[in-house]
Amino acid sequence: MYSLRRLLGQSSQRFASRRNLAAHRSVVHRRSGARIQIFLMSSNEIPDDDREEENDSPEDESAAAAVTGESGAESPPDNDEDELGDVVETDDEEQPPKRLSLKERLIALCTPTKLGVSIAVVAIFGLAWWATRPIEPPKPPAKPPEPEELYAQQIEQILSGASIQLHTTTYEINDEKLLLIPFEELEKAAEQRRQNLLADEQSSVDETATDESSSDSAPLPPSSSLSSSEGESDEPQVSELPKLDTVLIDEGVITDEGMVTIAKIPELRHLRLRLSPITDEGLKPLLERKSIWFLNLPHSRLTEKGIRSLSELPKLRQLRVGSTLLGNDIGRALLEVKSLRGLHLIGVPLSDEGLKVIVQLPHLESLYLDDAAITESGWDWLFQNHPQLHVHINQRHHDRDPQHHKHE
């Protein structure tokens, strides 16, 4: 009987112990507020977040005491028991924060929301910079050089040997500006070229005479040859000397007085003066320049007397002349200019009879006629008797010209 009571007492104690353990687990679940932690017998550590003593409510304390009875009262208020009744101490100290790696930080920053905000911030700063950037005022267009500057540049190019012509198309030249031509330098250069030419001719004559006198003569010693070359190197070369042989003035008026200035150019070969009413008197100074081969005076005041005087220019090959004072009798005056190869008459009322006189020039190759009075019978006679002649009528090829070609 005693044994039976003892067994019943032990069973009741075990039942009470199990009931106390269940009540303890319920209290732990309420304290965590989110998770249920079941601690096994082998567990020695309890997480800090499972026990928050400062957040325990009096109601939970009373409920746990009511369930556990005397056993709960005997256990310390700040400790928990496991299944075997062992007391498990809790640690309320905070765990140290975990340090994230660089990769994890970049992943956290590259979320769509943060990326959009970053782009928006960069765009705002870019717009703010663009709106407040300093704006430079537009540069004014380059001012075109003045006529005096252009003229001075051409004179400088002539003096340096970079150009041999004076060509004015965009600014006017008058008699006064012609005085700026460097006549002294041009004359010195021309004289040096003449001396060099005479020296070359004399050297050729001496070499020819030496070859004829003795073909087996001994050559000059090296020292003599070397000294000769050194002496020639001291003289300025022809290419280094300034030269002006072409004057083309398309703007501005040159008078007879200006022709006196132009005639001072020592090596003048080509002269064109538009809009300049040059007379027979103004032509006289130019006749001193025997090197002229092309004379172009489309707005002159020349007469037959002035045309005859052109015979004093032995190298004249091309003549382009216009004058209201010239008529059909110009043919007789032109026959005296026997060196002509090309003739261009502007505004001269040349008839069939005058045409038959002009074509008698011995070396005539091309004939240009503007506003002439030639009939069809006159053209028929011309092409039958002079089929080799190149003919232009009013700036265009004649239809029967055997040398007809397109001009570019």
What are the structural domain ranges in the chain?
Answer: 2-88, 152-188+242-397
pLDDT in the model for residue 59: 47
pLDDT of residue 94: 58
Measured CA to CA, the distance from residue 31 to residue 49 in angstroms comes to: 9
pLDDT band at residue 67, thresholds of 50, 70 and 90? very low
How far is the C-alpha of 189 from the C-alpha of 217, rounded, in Å? 37
Q: What is the pLDDT of residue 214?
A: 54
Quickly state the pLDDT bin for 260 (edges 50, 70, 90). Answer: very high
Please give the C-alpha separations between residue 153 and each of 76, 146, 162, 166, 312, in angstroms, as whole numbers: 114, 11, 11, 10, 34
Instruction: Write out pLDDT tens, residues 126-150.
Output: 888 888 888 878 888 888 889 999 9
pTM over 0.85: no
CB atoms within 10 A of CB 383: 15
Q: Taking residues 31-59, what's their average pLDDT?
A: 46
19-41 residue pLDDT tens: 666 665 655 555 554 444 444 44
Residue found by looking up tokens 């090829």 in the block: 397
Q: Could you read off the pLDDT of 338-386 as tens digits, one per residue?
A: 999 999 999 999 999 999 999 999 999 999 999 999 999 999 999 999 9
The reported pLDDT for the residue numbered 339 is 96
Task: Round the average pLDDT of the chain to a whole number and report it.
Answer: 77
Per-residue model confidence (pLDDT) at position 122 = 87
Give residue 243's pLDDT.
94
Phi, psi of 330 (to 5 degrees): -65, -20
DSSP 96: P
Examine the pLDDT at 99 and tell me if it is beyond 90: no
In CATH, which of 3.80.10.10, 3.40.50.2000, 3.30.1360.10, 3.30.2040.10 is domain 152-188+242-397?
A: 3.80.10.10
- Average pLDDT for residues 93-106, to the nearest whole number? 69
Q: What's the pLDDT band for 247 if we cut at 50, 70, 90? A: very high
Mean pLDDT (whole number) for 307-312: 96
State the Cα–Cα distance between residues 140 and 358, nearest whole angstrom.
58
**Structure-block tokens of residue 45:** 């550590």
Contacts of 68 (CB under 8 A, 6+ apart): 20, 23, 24, 75
Cβ atoms of 164 and 241 within 8 Å: the answer is no
